Copies of this chain bind each other. A is one copy, B any other.
Amino acid sequence: MNGASGEGRLTLEDLKEKMANFAKERDWDQFHSPRNLLLALVGGVGELSEIFQWKDEVPRGLPNWEEQEKLHLGEELSDVLLYLVRLSDNCGIDLCKAVLRKLELNAIKYPIGLCKGSSQKHNQIKTSPETTATVAGAAADATTSTTSNDMYDLFD
């Protein structure tokens, strides 16, 4: 029963609308230029980093963290998400469409068989010539832009 009303059904579109309304009600659109929002996003990422900065490695699931710390972490993660959604909206980028496209590009660049257990960047993965051609061709079809920080790249 996690239908339309459930939290699990929160869509990117919902978030975009909520943020747009929030800004409109407060007459804040004037502050939400792309670069203002980008710098606010950077600020949010800084605060996220500060939560982790003196902790050395942190195990998955944060087993020893206090509830308040997790709450704080959730707030900073949310701030980054909200700024990101708002930035996309004000740039006229359909984030939902963009992320689905990016997922496809990632699947092409990192074919399951070849990447298993490797964090190497896609152009360092050893492939047979045929595979390379296929992968490269598919990638070329799918994108007209290159990104240097792909999902699991080791270097950029």
Interface residues of A, Cβ cutoff 8 Å to B: 2, 7-13, 15, 18, 22, 25-28, 30-36, 38-62, 67-84, 87-88, 90-103, 105-107, 110, 112, 115-117, 119, 143-156
Contacts and interface: CB of A to CB of B under 8 A. Distances in A.
Contact of A52 (B12, B39, B50, B95): B39
B46 A34 contact: no
A57 B35 contact: yes
A7 B71 CA distance: 30
A153 B76 CA distance: 14
A148 B62 CA distance: 22
B50 A39 contact: yes
Contact of A84 (B22, B84, B87, B94): B84
A43 B47 contact: yes
B46 A44 contact: yes
Given A35-B58, A39-B53, A76-B147, 5 more contacts: A10-B12, A35-B35, A47-B147, A62-B92, A70-B92
Nearest to A86: B151
